[in-house]
Amino acid sequence: MEKKIMLHTGLSKGDIGRYVFLPGSPERTEKIAKYFDEPKEIAFHREFRTWTGKLSGVPVAVTSTGIGGPSTGIAMEELYECGADTMMRVGSCASVSPKVRKGDICVINGAVRMEGLGLHYLPIEFPAVPDYQMLKHEVEAAEASGLPYNVGVTITKESFYTQTSPETKPIGYELINRWKSYVAGGATNTSMECASMFLVGASLGIRTGSIMVSATDCEAYEGQGNSKPLNDLEDRVIRVAIDAMKRIIAEDLAQGR
């Protein structure tokens, strides 16, 4: 029987294992795959680039999602059809709080639903949260790294430029005050995929988690700068994510899952 090839990712059942990293950038897939044993690129279609390999002797994969919720949802649906049930976002975010400085690791324990994809999966009152076991091991890995880190809520926005220049938009007043309310509630960072990822994962009954690195200081630090340039932003979050996934794999093996 001819294998069914997924429409967007170009993958088929048997191409990947259970565990998948989800960066946004196709270029980042190769940077993550260099930490795999036996890394191999197996597909690259549109924004979806996939490498496979092994961690702790177990098959793993990394697939880029592109930017935002819709393409993330497509990647997740197709990866799920191919056998994945544990997906970890690895990426960058922007600080919105003095609690997060440039270079800090951000472990996400919930996401503001300022996006649209989630409403096609679950009603607005359903929370966008990661799997607890994944969150636990992500926190352990962040702690073990010795890097500064924050465990907190991210704001998943639907549009990049309505955050960076809301005053130029027809509904700027509403946007500005919504952002202020999220920050007042304790959100510490923002990106464009987490809420969508958590909600798609919940609807599929699979595990999801997210580790990011802040690429910015928040406005409170503007003009102060950092004492030294951080040229390893991507690598530092990748190393923490790899450690976290190894911990998840180890627990699954120990529990016979």
Extract the runs of DSSP E, i.e. beta strands, from the chain: 19-22, 37-45, 48-55, 58-63, 86-95, 105-114, 149-157, 189-191, 207-214
Strand 207-214 relative to strand 105-114: parallel, antiparallel, unpaired? antiparallel
- In this structure, what token pair is assigned to residue 81? 């059809």
Domain range for 193 is 19-255
pTM equals: 0.95
Residue recorded with tokens 């409170």:
220
| pLDDT given for residue 227 in this prediction | 46
Q: Look at residue 231 in the predicted model and tell me its pLDDT.
A: 74
- Mean pLDDT computed over 14-39: 97
| Joined tokens for residue 85 | 């049930």
Domain presence at residue 189: yes
Over residues 195-228, the pLDDT tens digits come to 999 999 999 999 999 999 999 999 765 554 554 4
- Alpha carbon distance, N-terminus to C-terminus of the chain: 30
Residue 137 belongs to some domain of the structure:
yes
Give domain status of residue 117, yes or no: yes
- The domain total for the chain is 1
In a domain, 12, yes or no: no
Element (H, E) at 88: strand 86-95
Radius of gyration of the chain (CA): 18
Amino acid 116 reads: G
**CATH number of the domain residue 25 falls in:** 3.40.50.1580
| Structure token pair of residue 47 | 């924004």
- Classify residue 52: in a domain, yes or no: yes
Per-residue model confidence as pLDDT tens digits over 90-141:
999 999 999 999 999 999 999 999 999 999 999 999 999 999 999 999 999 9
Q: Is residue 174 part of a domain?
A: yes
Coil vs helix vs strand at 185: coil
Residue 1 lies in a domain: no
Whether 11 is covered by a domain: the verdict is: no
